Structure 1
């Protein structure tokens, strides 16, 4: 508290009419000046306090607003939780499927669906674990390093497929066959699609002998077909193959091994061969050829002379350099196929006149030229 008592205030109290009192060195002007400074200080402190009180009031208002928002969010999610608990299992399963990554094959990652869905609540875990379509695509790497832990995760994943068709991507290192067979044996008859890459693997053909349900096969390693071509049983059921073959003879041999094939993609430039026996494949509808012009300038020369595809609807040809125009016209006439799409991409030499002849031979044919350095052309 301020001490504002002065001799003048006491004198004025006892004798209000006494106006000229002298007390040592102190004067009324000095006292007034001091009081004015004190007043200024108090006014400044009052202003500071009012500012602080205003800030506190604003802070309180913000906290009240945040409290209300939190309560609103809690109530919203409580209602949502009640709604989700009442959502039929079939609808919740469908929602879960829409949450899956768009990748063709999935990895057992805890931060991604479907593993993430099992960590939300007990019901979600039960629904996710009981939805086989969430678990039917798996990327699997087989190697000795840390295998036991990963094998446990893979096995838990595969059990949730509940016997449904399974798509697998296998990346195999060293002599992985015993490890892979031990893991996959209970599920091997479910595998309908297999994308497999061998690296330093002994006897890879032994892996395939039990894949009785296999329909789609992708093998990027071009040496693998030589090892597997003698093992015929599983080829018969294939409907889609993506592979790397470097000779026309092996290409036709693959077609003979796969009578039910409807789609074939080859990623290797052919080495032409002088004589090929005529062959007709009745079911092939889609053929994609990705060549290498630096290996062979005319990789398809001779092949269209031997091959007939009466059901072919789509043909993609990339990087074949020289194009056997006359042979291809003969192939179209001989096959009488309902070809709908013919695509030339990359380094493929054809002329406008040649492409017009194909359109004349096959009604409703659409011919497309795709070149990275030019605008795509359609006919």
Structure 2
């Protein structure tokens, strides 16, 4: 027993000595840690040393280019910027350009908040407003249209994709003093009367489907750019006869009569670019137009009829236009016949972006 006690006392002394050594080492490490932490705490990351105005400008370039609407969350969303740190949140909230484009839907609670938090942060900037019923809107239509009304006078770009909400469209009829572009797809005829967008002095561009073209009244002579889609040429004619200042036109046609010809041919004296496509055959498309200033034509070959070269030559002769760029999509004939027939056209393009196997570019 005395021997065991002596061994324990010796072991205890040894352990105490080791503990002292470790405590000394720990104290040294804690001291070194404190010095390193002080240096880190005193360090200002370069991005945090930038002026707030520069950070705000970086934020603006982080977003989709206006008037495209940013997503609610994730990359390119202003909401993401508010989740990084307090400084970034304050800068984002006080940068109106980040909030001037919004997609109104039930998935964006900021857009439907009673105080319109999202649009309210846009300050006095013009706005781009998008509403797409297919986005999964589950709130009542009144809330969606009520969100637009207070900001109508600042709306610069308006895009509406409506089906069941079409009857609510008359609620926003009225003044849009800054509106430059109107994009409407109605997918329904549930309207009692035509809707007039008559007080839109800045409107220059419109995109309409067949139902919107039927029910919406615009100051047509103001437009310089027009896209009509899922519509027959017969339905286009009453509108095309009114857009006398049009310089660019895009037609996505659904053919009801493949041999229809507008008589007399539609005269668009200022039109410089015409694009026309569709899934059906239309033999006489170019016979419906006289376009003296046309320099760019993009058309499906099946719109040229069985005698494509003759159809094009007759159109060019009647219009007395000087085509510089000609694009023939869905081509089945020999591209060389076009370059041989029209040597004065500077650029001939064949095929479509999707049909790369048909792609063929010739520059004369």
Note the alpha carbon deviations across 1:275-322, whole angstroms, 9 max, x for none. 412112234344333311xxx2x22x322112123343443335x645
Task: Provide the rounded CA distance (Å) in 1 between the counterparts of 2:227 and 2:332.
Answer: 25
SS in 2 for 1:284: coil
RMSD over equivalenced CA pairs, Å? 4.6
Note the alpha carbon deviations across 1:231-262, whole angstroms, 9 max, x for none. 32354544444442331122233323444444
Aligned partner of 2:338 in structure 1 is 355
Whether contact under 8 Å (2:277, 2:299) holds in the other structure is: yes
Aligned partner of 1:138 in structure 2 is 102
In structure 2, do the counterparts of structure 1 residues 157 and 274 end up closer, same or farther at CA, with 3 Å as the change threshold?
A: same
Does residue 1:214 correspond to 2:179, yes or no? yes
Task: Provide the rounded CA distance (Å) in 1 between the counterparts of 2:335 and 2:152.
Answer: 50
Counting only pairs closer than 5 Å after superposition, residues 273-284 of structure 1 correspond to structure 2 as 273-277=259-263, 278-284=265-271
Gaps of 5+ in 2: 5-10, 189-208
- Of 100, 106, 117 in structure 1, the residue corresponding to residue 81 of structure 2 is 117
Aligned partner of 2:284 in structure 1 is 302
Aligned partner of 2:127 in structure 1 is 166
Note the alpha carbon deviations across 1:329-373, whole angstroms, 9 max, x for none. 22233334454433333x3334224321564243x2342433636
Aligned partner of 2:319 in structure 1 is 335
Gaps of 5+ in 1: 5-41
The structure whose Rg is larger is 1
Whether contact under 8 Å (2:162, 2:187) holds in the other structure is: no
TM-score, normalization by structure 2: 0.68
In structure 2, do the counterparts of structure 1 residues 276 and 231 end up closer, same or farther at CA, with 3 Å as the change threshold?
A: same
Note the alpha carbon deviations across 1:30-76, whole angstroms, 9 max, x for none. xxxxxxxxxxxx9xx9xxx9xxx99x989x87x88877765554333
- Of 312, 315, 321 in structure 1, the residue corresponding to residue 297 of structure 2 is 315
In structure 2, do the counterparts of structure 1 residues 340 and 359 end up closer, same or farther at CA, with 3 Å as the change threshold?
A: same
Note the alpha carbon deviations across 1:135-171, whole angstroms, 9 max, x for none. 22222226xxx99875117822222333433222211
Whether contact under 8 Å (2:285, 2:303) holds in the other structure is: no
Tell me which moved more, 177-186 or 258-267. 258-267
Whether contact under 8 Å (1:175, 1:201) holds in the other structure is: no
Aligned partner of 2:152 in structure 1 is 188
SS in 2 for 1:312: coil
Aligned partner of 2:233 in structure 1 is 248
SS in 2 for 1:332: helix
Whether contact under 8 Å (1:205, 1:228) holds in the other structure is: no
Alignment: residue pair count: 325
Counting only pairs closer than 5 Å after superposition, residues 356-371 of structure 1 correspond to structure 2 as 356-357=339-340, 359-362=342-345, 364-370=346-352
Whether contact under 8 Å (1:193, 1:217) holds in the other structure is: yes
In structure 2, do the counterparts of structure 1 residues 157 and 241 end up closer, same or farther at CA, with 3 Å as the change threshold?
A: farther
In structure 2, do the counterparts of structure 1 residues 273 and 189 end up closer, same or farther at CA, with 3 Å as the change threshold?
A: farther
Task: Provide the rounded CA distance (Å) in 1 between the counterparts of 2:231 and 2:153.
Answer: 31
Whether contact under 8 Å (1:217, 1:241) holds in the other structure is: no
Give the superposition deviation at 1:112: 5.2
Task: Provide the rounded CA distance (Å) in 2 between the counterparts of 1:77 and 1:196.
Answer: 46
In structure 2, do the counterparts of structure 1 residues 227 and 111 end up closer, same or farther at CA, with 3 Å as the change threshold?
A: closer
In structure 2, do the counterparts of structure 1 residues 352 and 78 end up closer, same or farther at CA, with 3 Å as the change threshold?
A: closer
